[in-house]
């Protein structure tokens, strides 16, 4: 019997205060839909803004299945999750839960402040593929650059960096091309 391959989980991080109608909210909603359309699951911090938009977008995909959205919540109460989170994991860890989100198979950032930056830093240390979408917040500041001087892959990945994408479609193209490379032991 052939073993069924595991669906990859992609962390979507960003501005927790983004409102409907903003560029960040629209990008996150498009990204959530595109990720599920391409067979991925969506992992977020489970609250509002970019997290809510990504989960809502995932639910709007024609390929959506229950369990496609996972929220790693900062507090101890599962009911704090946004309405589009299928699996709510209350941690009681506050911002330390960002480390768990950053352990996704890859991380995609949209805008964001200090919390988003911490997730980007954790993902960098965990040698994850990181893609920054748009020009706002910390995602815009680190897009196209390495986060520090480390050679995370000892030459196996040339010009390792946080990859820049203009929109959800470009982010998914980068993800599909680069995730197999970043998934190899380095």
* CATH number for 26: 3.40.50.450
Q: How high is the pLDDT of residue 4?
A: 72
pTM of the model: 0.96
Is there a domain that residue 23 lies in? Answer: yes
Number of domains comprising the chain: 1
Residue 83's closest CA among 64, 100, 69?
A: 69
Is there a domain that residue 3 lies in? Answer: no
pLDDT, averaged in runs of 10, over the chain (186 residues): 82 97 97 98 98 98 98 98 98 97 98 97 97 96 94 82 98 97 75
For residue 154, count CB atoms less than 10 angstroms from its CB and return exposed for 0-12, middle for 13-18, buried for 19 or more: exposed
Q: How high is the pLDDT of residue 185?
A: 58
Q: How high is the pLDDT of residue 158?
A: 81
Is there a domain that residue 59 lies in? Answer: yes
Is there a domain that residue 46 lies in? Answer: yes
Q: How high is the pLDDT of residue 35?
A: 98
Residue range of the domain that includes 16: 9-178
Q: How high is the pLDDT of residue 112?
A: 96
Is there a domain that residue 60 lies in? Answer: yes
* List of residues 6+ apart from 185 with CB closer than 8 A: none
Is there a domain that residue 103 lies in? Answer: yes
Is there a domain that residue 185 lies in? Answer: no
Handedness of CA 20, 22, 26, 28 (dihedral sign): negative
Residue 44 host element (H or E) = strand 41-44
Is there a domain that residue 186 lies in? Answer: no
Q: How high is the pLDDT of residue 126?
A: 95
At residue 33, the 3 state secondary structure works out as helix
């Amino acid at each position: 019997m052939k073993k069924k391959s595991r669906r990859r989980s992609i962390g979507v991080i960003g501005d927790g205060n983004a409102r409907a109608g903003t560029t960040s909210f629209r990008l996150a909603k498009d990204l959530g839909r595109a990720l599920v359309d391409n067979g991925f699951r969506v992992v977020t911090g489970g609250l509002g803004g970019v997290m809510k938009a990504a989960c809502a977008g995932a639910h709007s995909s024609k390929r959506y299945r229950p369990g496609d959205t996972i929220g790693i919540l900062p507090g101890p109460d599962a009911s704090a999750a946004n309405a589009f989170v299928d699996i709510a994991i209350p941690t009681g860890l506050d911002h330390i839960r960002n480390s768990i989100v950053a352990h996704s198979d890859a991380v995609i950032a949209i805008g964001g402040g200090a919390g988003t930056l911490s997730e980007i830093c954790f993902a960098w240390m965990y040698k994850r593929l990181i893609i920054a979408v748009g020009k706002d917040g910390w995602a815009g500041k680190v897009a196209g650059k390495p986060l520090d001087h480390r050679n995370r892959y000892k030459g196996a990945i040339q010009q390792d960096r946080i990859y820049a994408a203009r929109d959800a479609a470009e982010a998914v193209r980068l993800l599909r091309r680069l995730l197999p490379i970043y998934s190899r032991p380095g």
